[in-house]
Amino acid sequence: MRAIDLLNGRLKLRHLVLVVAVADQGSVLRAAEHLRLAQPAVTRSLREVEGLLGVELFTRGPRGMTPTMFGDAFVEHARAVLAELRRAGERISGLADGEVGTVTIGTLLAGSSVLLPRAIAALKRDRPGVTVIVQEATFDAQVPRLLDGEIDLILGRLNPIEDLRGLRQITLYGEPVRLVARRGHPARSVPGLGLADLLAYPWVLPLEQTALRSELEQVFRADGLDPPGNLVECTSVLTVRTLVRDTDMIAALPELVARTDADIAPLPVPLETVRRQVGVTLPAHRAPTPSARLMLDHLRRAAAEITAG
């Protein structure tokens, strides 16, 4: 027997629904009632399917319709196809409602230690079916991936975007950047501690291509000083905190990050000119996915709680 091509467009979804209904109901009449169709229409459609397949799917007897071996095989596949279509519909509905899906967040230093974990925890309580992916990198490295759709949003200190097309930003809260060191750091005993005194110690700073690094270097130059020469470049919050806690290194950290470690504390040297706004950067001309919208909602709520606290 030649292979039967069911993908040529002649077999319709209604044919699958009808054959399964006849198998379930045991008669054309009951299948018609179940589908709310006229009996002649059901009979005609069943003949169409059998004509396409070239086999008899049901035998007609006094007790109703009984599937043939061809009917059993076809009904099995028809049920599988209809089940997959139902699952597809449920998945699409879930994606549209934000019940399932994925949101990918690119993080910078600020916001990643307190704000983001709180927002993720709240999102997962609300929608456990949503997968959250967090990727840490510099702002410049994240922007192309944001514009290409590989990530949904960038969270951190708001970098200048005047020269970057296709981006928009939402401010969540203001958070000062502080110079920090371990609590027993020898610099704490220096009378009238100033920025120049801190150059005697090693530093851990953001990478050169970051906006924060540029602003910190401007702070030194405004005081007539060269930026630190003895330094480690790092964007990992965990590594920065560990280096500061376990050595005499000095770092510039968002205040909330510094607050979460009892072994480090701010130094009395202000960074007034360093920008304080924390928020999200988004594509300007692409609407967020349902999962990304939910993440944004929870980021806003967590930011409001932080500000209130």
With residue 261 as reference, give the H or E element that holds it. Answer: none
Q: Which pLDDT value is given to residue 8?
A: 80
Q: Are 246 and 198 in contact (CB under 8 A)?
A: no
pLDDT digits (tens, 9 = 90+) for 212-252: 888 899 999 999 999 999 999 987 888 999 999 999 999 99
- φ, ψ of residue 218 in degrees (nearest 5): -65, -35
Query: What pLDDT is attached to residue 111?
Result: 64
Report the C-alpha gap between 177 and 266 in whole angstroms.
Answer: 9
Contact in structure between 11 and 49 (CB atoms under 8 Å): yes
Burial letters for 253-283: b for 16+ Cβ neighbours within 10 Å, e otherwise? bbbbbbbebeebbbbebebeebbbebbbbbb
Tens place of pLDDT per residue across the chain (309 aa): 566 777 787 899 999 999 999 999 999 999 999 999 999 999 999 999 999 999 999 998 887 899 999 999 999 999 989 888 887 876 787 777 778 888 999 998 656 778 999 999 999 999 999 999 999 888 888 999 998 888 999 998 888 888 788 899 999 988 888 999 999 999 999 999 999 999 999 999 988 878 888 889 999 999 999 999 999 998 788 899 999 999 999 999 888 877 778 899 999 998 888 877 889 999 998 888 888 999 999 999 999 998 886
**Residue 270 · residue 219 · CB < 8 Å:** no
Residue 180: what pLDDT? Answer: 95
If you write DSSP's letter for every residue of 139-186 in order, what string do you get? HHHHHHHHHHTSSSEEEEE----TT-TTEEEEEEEE--EEEEEETT-G
Residues with Cβ within 8 Å of residue 280, at least 6 apart in sequence: 153, 154, 155, 169, 170, 172, 296, 299
User: What integer pLDDT is reported at residue 210 of this predicted model?
Assistant: 80
Q: Are 153 and 192 in contact (CB under 8 A)?
A: no
Cα–Cα distance measured from residue 214 to residue 276, given in angstroms and rounded to the nearest whole number: 14
pLDDT at position 6: 77
In this prediction, residue 70 carries a pLDDT of 95
Domains and CATH numbers, the chain: 13-95 (1.10.10.10), 101-168+281-308 (3.40.190.10), 177-266 (3.40.190.290)
